[in-house]
């Protein structure tokens, strides 16, 4: 299984104006190709699209050869994603516009790495830039990882950073040959609750994040009511801070979850398939913002790639009635759960409701293993990320 990791390289840029011009020109090319695809009314394959737009990208816009190829592939991929969302009736066909904040490079073609230097193709040819090589990066730069399509990104501080994509094949145990499973139930009071096949469990608290987000929500309401220019600037600042808070929290919690799985010799982690949950669930107005903005998918993505690096497989399971089903007698009733407590109205089994959910997900993961075995499959199908 292919494991991917993106590491951010802090660059020493003596000529930021050159990079600015290169990124702006690259973005101009993307917006031109985007307009072409939009006017077609449907996506077009990158090979066929390149024949149509390559001369303009090279001669009129002034992009280098590989830049032009990267532009076409990137725009074509974006419109394929849009088409999937249109078919799912999540959006409408629309023209996509790009901001001059990043550009894509292909390893071995328009970017290279040599020690603590990175070579990038610009509008004025190849330039070399030093980057700060921190100790935690060494495991990805020692030759055991391959480099894929990466991005030069201009961050909010106005500096350029290189987002280096690293890839490596990892050995993961086939689901049908696995014996130890772990179910993970996601929530807001506890970001996650994990339970293994041998009933070892752990709660991963997200209380601090929830409290801070409540504070931000109150501040946001107050600033929105003012409507001044300074209030709008502060709203933008708060939005970025809140997003970084949640990403940091999800990184730390996902790392703890995978570490717990490694300690308990888990082969497969079962996660809830939460696609479309915001459309399916009804939430009170008071809790609506917290529910709809909680980064469940980001946390699951972090768990998935961190688990893959450790050789642990992940599967996605139907979460329906997971916290209302008694794991002892299989009785299903919404009366079984009252807030955080679970008491089966049939057999009297009682436990924390989130732990019940994790146990049921683990049980469904084991059942799924037997289903794959009967069907003659060794691994579940790869999850389609485009529809999420």
Q: Are 317 and 273 contacting, i.e. CB atoms less than 8 angstroms apart?
A: yes
- In the numeric block, the tokens 């014996």 are attached to 179
The CATH number of 175-204+246-387, from 3.30.420.140, 1.20.1440.230, 3.40.50.300, 3.40.50.150, is: 3.30.420.140
Rounded Cα distance between 234 and 211, Å, is: 20
User: In this predicted structure, what is the pLDDT of residue 206?
Assistant: 65
Q: Is the pLDDT of residue 127 over 90?
A: yes
Q: Are 98 and 30 contacting, i.e. CB atoms less than 8 angstroms apart?
A: yes
Query: Which pLDDT band holds residue 384 (cuts at 50, 70, 90)?
Result: very low
For 115-131, what is the mean pLDDT? 94
User: In this predicted structure, what is the pLDDT of residue 283?
Assistant: 55
What one-character DSSP code corresponds to residue 156?
Answer: T
Residue 215 CB contacts under 8 Å (≥ 6 apart), including other chains: none
What one-character DSSP code corresponds to residue 184?
Answer: E
User: In this predicted structure, what is the pLDDT of residue 265?
Assistant: 94
Rounded Cα distance between 292 and 279, Å, is: 9
Q: Is the pLDDT of residue 193 over 60?
A: yes
Rounded Cα distance between 77 and 30, Å, is: 12
Rounded Cα distance between 316 and 382, Å, is: 10
Query: Radius of gyration of the chain from Cα atoms?
Result: 24
Helix, strand or coil, per DSSP, at residue 152? strand
Per residue in 346-379, pLDDT (tens digit) is 999 999 999 999 999 999 999 998 888 877 675 6
Give the bridge partners for 113, in sequence order. Answer: 118
Rounded Cα distance between 197 and 260, Å, is: 13
Least confident of 184-193, 265-274, 291-300: 291-300
Rounded Cα distance between 368 and 374, Å, is: 10
Rounded Cα distance between 72 and 36, Å, is: 11
Q: Is the pLDDT of residue 86 over 90?
A: yes
How many C-beta neighbours within 10 Å does residue 180 have?
Answer: 18
Q: Which residue has the higher pLDDT, 274 or 60?
A: 60
Strands 181-186 and 268-272 come out as parallel
Q: Which residue has the higher pLDDT, 51 or 170?
A: 51
Strands 150-154 and 2-12 come out as unpaired
Q: Where are the chain's structural domains?
A: 2-169, 175-204+246-387
Q: Are 119 and 128 contacting, i.e. CB atoms less than 8 angstroms apart?
A: yes
Helix, strand or coil, per DSSP, at residue 182? strand
On average, the pLDDT of the chain sits at: 87
**Residues of the chain above pLDDT 90, percent:** 60
For 256-278, what is the mean pLDDT? 89
Rounded Cα distance between 300 and 304, Å, is: 6
Q: Dihedral (C-alpha) 327, 333, 334, 337: value to the nearest 10 degrees?
A: -40
Rounded Cα distance between 188 and 4, Å, is: 28
Q: Are 73 and 46 contacting, i.e. CB atoms less than 8 angstroms apart?
A: yes
Q: Is the pLDDT of residue 385 over 80?
A: no
User: In this predicted structure, what is the pLDDT of residue 78?
Assistant: 95
User: In this predicted structure, what is the pLDDT of residue 244?
Assistant: 80
Provide φ and ψ at 132, rounded to 5°: -80, 115
For 185-190, what is the mean pLDDT? 85
Per residue in 281-305, pLDDT (tens digit) is 555 555 555 555 567 889 999 999 8
User: In this predicted structure, what is the pLDDT of residue 207?
Assistant: 59
């Amino acid at each position: 299984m292919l494991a991917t990791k993106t590491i951010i390289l802090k660059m020493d840029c003596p000529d930021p104006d050159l990079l600015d011009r290169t990124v702006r020109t690259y973005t101009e090319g993307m917006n031109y190709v985007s307009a072409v695809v939009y006017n077609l009314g449907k996506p077009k394959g990158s090979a066929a699209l390149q024949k149509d737009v390559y001369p303009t990208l090279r001669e009129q816009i002034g992009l280098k050869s590989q830049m032009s190829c990267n532009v076409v592939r990137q725009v074509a991929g974006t419109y394929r994603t849009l088409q999937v969302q249109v078919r799912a009736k999540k959006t409408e066909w629309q023209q996509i516009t790009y901001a001059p904040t990043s550009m894509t490079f292909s390893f071995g073609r328009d970017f290279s790495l040599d020690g603590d230097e990175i070579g990038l193709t610009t509008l004025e040819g190849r330039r070399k830039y030093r980057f700060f090589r921190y100790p935690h990066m060494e495991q990805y730069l020692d030759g055991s990882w391959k480099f894929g399509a990466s991005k030069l990104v201009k961050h909010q501080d106005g500096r350029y950073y290189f987002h280096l994509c690293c890839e490596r094949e990892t050995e993961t145990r086939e689901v049908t040959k696995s014996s130890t499973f772990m179910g993970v139930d996601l929530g807001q009071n506890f970001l996650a609750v994990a339970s293994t096949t041998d009933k070892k469990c752990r709660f991963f608290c997200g209380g601090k994040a929830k409290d801070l987000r409540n504070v931000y929500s109150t501040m946001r309401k107050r600033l929105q009511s003012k409507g001044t220019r300074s209030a709008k600037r502060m709203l933008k600042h708060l939005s970025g801070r809140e997003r970084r808070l949640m990403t940091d929290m999800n990184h730390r919690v996902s790392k703890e979850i995978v570490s717990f799985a490694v300690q308990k010799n888990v082969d497969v982690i079962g996660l809830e398939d939460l696609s479309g949950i915001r459309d399916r669930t009804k939430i009170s107005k008071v809790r609506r913002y917290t529910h709809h903005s909680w980064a469940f998918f980001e946390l699951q993505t972090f768990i998935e790639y961190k688990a893959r690096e450790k050789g642990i497989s992940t599967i996605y399971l139907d979460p329906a009635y997971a916290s209302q089903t008694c794991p002892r007698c299989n009785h299903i009733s919404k009366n079984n759960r009252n807030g955080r407590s679970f008491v089966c109205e049939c057999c009297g089994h009682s436990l924390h409701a989130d732990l019940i959910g994790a146990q049921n997900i683990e049980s469904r993961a084991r059942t799924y293993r037997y289903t794959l075995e009967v069907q003659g499959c060794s691994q579940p199908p790869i999850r389609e990320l485009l529809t999420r």
